Amino acid sequence: MWRVLRLSALVLGVIGVFGWTSDALAGSASPSGAASQQVAGNGVTVTATLLKEQPGGTAVKLALDTYFVNLVRYDFEELAILRDDTGKTYPVTAVEQVGSQKPHYRQAVLWFAKVNPEAKMIELIVKDVAGVKERTFHWNTKD
């Protein structure tokens, strides 16, 4: 009996540490300018990759990955918005699904209007995934 109680306490302690860690990581990726960035929180990792500027606009590949949450309910078109440092916001104009869409892993390319050439920095804000209000990814647009 005591062995079961000690084991239960250990398991709860480990869950508490991992739960705190995932919440602590949620929020914002460093403004490193790296093309691909990740923000994890509440059991879901969101990866955003800024794709090379296209003539038709700005494209970001967005991937959602988890072991715990059913991701099918998330609509990529409503999930994100792009904002530049001049204050202009860009809603998603098109979504291209990439690969097979599974309950625990989904990815798509999000298209936005061409970013203001005056902008020095852009950020992608991913809203309300797995209870995390916002996850923010930053990229420098000027070298």
Say which CATH number the domain at 64 has. 2.60.40
- Other CB atoms within 10 Å distance of the CB of residue 49: 18
Q: What are phi and psi of 89, to 5 degrees?
A: -110, 150
Predicted TM-score (pTM) of the model is 0.76
Helix (H) or strand (E) holding 30: none
Query: What total of structural domains would you count in the chain?
Result: 1
Q: What is the DSSP letter of 52?
A: P
> Could you tell me the residue range of the domain that residue 119 belongs to?
2-140
Residue 77 has which token pair?
């078109």
pLDDT in tens, the chain (143 residues): 434 434 344 333 333 333 333 333 345 554 445 699 999 999 999 999 999 777 889 999 999 999 988 898 899 999 999 999 999 999 999 999 998 778 889 999 999 999 999 999 999 999 999 999 999 999 998 86
Q: How many residues comprise the chain?
A: 143
